[in-house]
Amino acid sequence: MSSHRVAHPVAHATHLASRVPHHVTRLHRGRDACWWVVSAGALVLVGCRGPQSVLDPAGRGAERIAELFWWMATGAGIIWLAVVGLAIYAMRARPGAHSRGVALLIIGGGAVLPTVVLAGLLAYGLALMPELLTPAAEGQLQIAVSAEQWWWRVRYLTFGGNGEAVELANEIRLPVGARVAFHLESPDVIHSFWIPALGGKLDMIPGRRNRLVLEPTRTGVFRGVCAEYCGTSHALMRFDVVVLEQEDFAVWLKHQHAPAQPPTQPLAAHGQELFLTNGCGACHTVRGTPADGVVGPDLTHVGSRLSLGAGILPNDPEAFLRWIAHTEDVKPGVHMPAFGMLPPEDVRALAAYLDGLE
């Protein structure tokens, strides 16, 4: 009797579940399916936006590439529907001889339609090439970018029409609405230069200079990456791209051309002394000081950049402390030696000096 009473509620619940109307079960299943579809759609839409999204274009080239993507997605969808439709028909068709129309359907849907769609997509894609490869006009901005393990050397080759170069690192600023020619090269291994929101990617091959023309169409901050595996810290090799109004860009470029201002705070002044006496100037340039090294990034205005270490650290004194004292921990394989052997007060002074180079 006792075991019967214990088992009875379970059996009763099972009996009640079996009596739930089928339309209610179908309703719940339909709601679950809709929830999954909506969730998947939301994830897709979120992935289409952001500073590193190909489908959220902010440049003329990226707009054409996004258009090509959507046309290709549409063409792929048409071919997929045709092939799936033929597969369903074949599964449901009765065995035996079929009419001539079935053979034409298979030939048309399985061969002719894909050929026509793919040929149209190829023609559309080739028609975009001349516009994407048109060089910048004479006298417009020219930027040389050298990808190195694992950072970006950026040189503005034209300044005020006098041909003077302005060098910085791991950050590119561009004027909106202007075509800019990039000269891309690498001194060590193959890298790939890619700003998804502005245009296509292009490989940077040792011993060869490639050219890429970009034209930003709206202001904002975007992200560039190395799209070719290049070694240990490949994933830690990013850079910021800031698109400014043309007047703001001219002011910024003029400021970048100026030498570094002497530090005014005692701690930063001590940091400058340490920078010069500890050999930092053998690798880095700070224009306006004896530091004239060319091995590492130019640090003349490093304090005004958005990030440190090729986009992996925020630009603030604490980040400078980490980078100076624990370089290898922050970016494995980096060629810059850490200065953790310095007393903490000296590291703070160095960080204060670098942070003040705006």
Q: Token digits for 141? A: 């901005």
pLDDT value of residue 126 = 85
pLDDT value of residue 173 = 96
Residue type (1 letter), 39 = S
- The more confidently predicted of residues 73 and 16 is 73
If you average pLDDT over every residue of the chain, what do you get? 83
Q: Which pLDDT band, with edges at 50, 70 and 90, does 86 fall under?
A: confident
pLDDT value of residue 305 = 94
Is residue 224 scored above 80 in pLDDT? yes
pLDDT value of residue 8 = 52
Mean predicted confidence (pLDDT) in 44-71: 79
pLDDT tens, 286-305?
999 999 999 999 999 999 99
- The more confidently predicted of residues 300 and 94 is 300
Q: Which pLDDT band, with edges at 50, 70 and 90, does 169 fall under?
A: very high
Would you give the distance in Å from CA 308 to the centre of its chain?
Answer: 17
Domain-wise residue ranges, the chain: 2-47, 60-133, 142-257, 266-355
The alpha carbon torsion through 297, 301, 306, 307 (nearest 10 deg) reads: 30
Q: Which residues pair with 225 in a beta bridge?
A: 194, 238
What is the sign of the dihedral through the CA atoms of 79, 81, 85 and 87?
Answer: positive
Residue type (1 letter), 233 = S
pLDDT tens, 101-136?
667 777 877 788 888 888 988 888 888 777 766 766
Classify 142-257 by CATH class: mainly beta
Q: Which of 26-35, 134-143, 249-258 is the least confident region?
A: 26-35
**Which CATH topology does 266-355 take?**
Immunoglobulin-like (2.60.40)
pLDDT value of residue 11 = 52
Q: Which residues pair with 216 in a beta bridge?
A: 59
Is residue 281 scored above 60 in pLDDT? yes
pLDDT tens, 4-43?
444 455 455 445 445 545 544 544 555 555 565 455 554 5
Identical fold for domains 142-257 and 266-355, yes or no, is yes
Query: How many other CB atoms sit within 10 Å of the CB of residue 148?
Result: 22
- The more confidently predicted of residues 272 and 47 is 272
pLDDT value of residue 250 = 92
Which three-class secondary structure state does DSSP give residue 6?
helix
Q: Which pLDDT band, with edges at 50, 70 and 90, does 233 fall under?
A: very high
What is the sign of the dihedral through the CA atoms of 16, 19, 25 and 28?
Answer: negative
Kindly state the helix (H) or strand (E) to which residue 154 belongs, with its residue range: strand 151-156
